[in-house]
Amino acid sequence: MEKEEKVAAEAAAAEARRRLVIGVGFWVQGFRLFPWLGVNFFLKDGMGVAASSLQILQASANLPMVAKPLLGLLSDAVPIRGHRRLPYVAIGALLQAMSWLAIALWPAISLPVLTIFLLLSNFGASICEVANDAIVAEAGKQVTSSSGSGQLQSFAWMFGSSAGALGNLLGGVALSYFSPRIMFLFFAILLVIQFFTTVAIPESSLKLPKAATNLSALTSIRKQVKELSCALCVPEMFWSIIWFTLSYTVIPFLLGTMFFYQTEVLRLDSSVIGLSKVFGQVALLAWSMSYNKYFKTMSARKVLSVLQFAIALIMLSDVLFVQGIYRKIGIPDSIYTIVFSGLFEGLMFFKVLPFSVHIAKLCPAGCEGSVMAFVMSALALATIVSGYLGVALAAFMGVSGDDFSALPACLLIEAACTMLPLCCSSLIKERREKEKKEE
């Protein structure tokens, strides 16, 4: 009896430490929206970057995220001092801290140098996210009950979205009183704190699956590549990833163009832009809690299809917004921007939660890090392509920082492209009940 109580106490302590690591990791990464809000205004107002250049830089900054499969393989197959997760989190936090410190303290920084440091920062962030996602996937595998499935994913998303809401709220206020460089410095200090916190926690206390110690690094990597290939060849996983990637790739996102329209044409204050992102993160937090309680047992195909349709509706609503329809019926531009722009960004992020839970259920044991990293890499590549398509669409339609007359037509095209993935939602495959029982 005492032995059982001791085992239960150790399991509870390990669970608490896992939640601490996951909470801190996702909170700090969610708070990245704080300095990135400052980056947008720093580029537009401080460096005079055009709308197309801003959107190209926003999309290109995600290039390090494409390396996630390689990082996932390294994390799975190459332990650092016998550990596969926390050392990588610490390395990623350190790289980010160095990057933001350099951006904050570099005098008269040029656009190429700024781009290099932003790429290095996102490379560090991708390392952190790969390791954090793997911890969530591995810990989630230890939950055997269907009621507990997806709880850690929802827990992580709630921490990330709450940090994003706080970061955008503070960012919108901070831009009214401080320069963006102060925001960069503050976030760098948070990353230094995360680094020392991560180093202080022994990974063995998390009770995660241990790496095989009798394999060389090269052999282990080959083994992980083979397991990843086998996992991706599973029809349910392969076709689900194809649909999820296409659901972003085919949309020519106009985020940079809309940012310039809101700030240059409508003259909305930075606090309004910050509040719109806060609203989106609060909505994301509420949806994460609702998903964990009500929707996690629903079909992933149904949930993702409904979200895709809702995103298209908001894009159609934006057409009425830029034509001034809402302003004529008494809805201020600031209120619409806060609510609907926030909902749009929140929905785009929220799609990842049900899909990550879906993939985690399909993922074979032992390659959680590499599979989740591959999925996030595909998402990053899809958002980069969609960002470039948005720039091409705006240029083709003649939308620029001085002329937004064709913006409604661009938004209609964007909404039509968003509806396309609904025509092939059958690609989202569910594992058959018989296969689940056999496994």
Domain ranges within the chain, ordered by starting residue: 7-205, 218-429
Contacts of 211 (CB under 8 A, 6+ apart): 76, 77, 79, 82, 84, 220
Q: Residues 342, 345, 347, CA angle at the centre, nearest 5°?
A: 105
Residue-level pLDDT at 431: 62
Tokens of 340: 């609907």
Task: Please state the three-class secondary structure of 350-377 as a single string.
Answer: HCHHHHHHHHHHHCCCCCHHHHHHHHHH
Question: What is the C-alpha separation between 340 and 321, in angstroms, rounded?
Answer: 10
Tokens of 296: 């996690």
Residue-level pLDDT at 145: 45
Residue-level pLDDT at 354: 85
Tokens of 80: 């650092």
Q: Are the CB atoms for 238 and 371 separated by under 8 Å?
A: no
For residues 357-384, average pLDDT? 78
Lowest mean pLDDT among 125-129, 204-208, 274-278, 287-291: 204-208
In this structure, which amino acid lies at residue 59?
A
- β-bridge mates for residue 83, sequence order: 80
Tokens of 31: 């708070």
Residue-level pLDDT at 182: 93
Burial state string for 95-131 with b = 16 or more CB within 10 A and e = fewer than 16: bbbbbbbbbbeeeebeeeebeebbbbbbbbbbbbbbb
Cα–Cα distances in Å, from 423 out to 209, 235, 375, 386? 40, 19, 22, 19
Lowest mean pLDDT among 156-160, 340-344, 424-428: 156-160
In 3D, which of 375, 337, 429, 153 has the Cα closest to residue 248? Answer: 375
Tokens of 178: 């401080």
pLDDT tens digit string along 396-419? 888 877 788 899 999 999 999 999
Residue-level pLDDT at 97: 95
Residue-level pLDDT at 146: 45
Q: Residues 61, 65, 71, CA angle at the centre, nearest 5°?
A: 145
Tokens of 341: 């722009």
**pLDDT bracket for residue 143 (50, 70, 90):** low
Question: What is the C-alpha separation between 383 and 65, in angstroms, rounded?
Answer: 10
Lowest mean pLDDT among 120-124, 250-254, 283-287, 391-395: 283-287
222: enclosing H helix or E strand: helix 217-232
Rounded to the nearest 10 degrees, the angle between the axes of helix 342-350 and helix 270-290 is 40
In 3D, which of 377, 348, 374, 372 has the Cα closest to residue 360? Answer: 372
Share of the chain above pLDDT 90, in %: 23
Lowest mean pLDDT among 80-89, 130-139, 368-377: 368-377
Comparing 105 with 149, the larger pLDDT belongs to: 105
Residue-level pLDDT at 435: 47
Lowest mean pLDDT among 142-156, 292-306, 336-350: 142-156
Cα–Cα distances in Å, from 169 out to 101, 130, 258? 22, 27, 20
- The topology under which CATH files domain 7-205 is Growth Hormone; Chain: A; (1.20.1250)
Share of the chain above pLDDT 70, in %: 89
| pLDDT surpassing 50 at residue 365 | yes
Question: What is the C-alpha separation between 269 and 164, in angstroms, rounded?
Answer: 19
For residues 36-42, average pLDDT? 87
Task: Please state the three-class secondary structure of 376-423 as a single string.
Answer: HHHHHHHHHHHHHHHHHHHHHHCCCCCCCCCHHHHHHHHHHHHHHHHH
- β-bridge mates for residue 248, sequence order: none
End-to-end CA distance of the chain: 32
| pLDDT surpassing 90 at residue 92 | yes
Q: Please state which CATH class domain 218-429 belongs to.
A: mainly alpha
Q: Are the CB atoms for 22 and 136 separated by under 8 Å?
A: yes
pLDDT tens digit string along 175-229? 888 889 999 999 999 999 999 988 888 877 777 766 655 556 677 677 777 777 8
Q: Are the CB atoms for 131 and 75 separated by under 8 Å?
A: yes
| pLDDT surpassing 90 at residue 268 | no
Tokens of 6: 């001791």
Entry pTM: 0.74
pLDDT tens digit string along 144-161? 444 444 577 777 877 887
In this structure, which amino acid lies at residue 433?
E
| pLDDT surpassing 60 at residue 432 | no
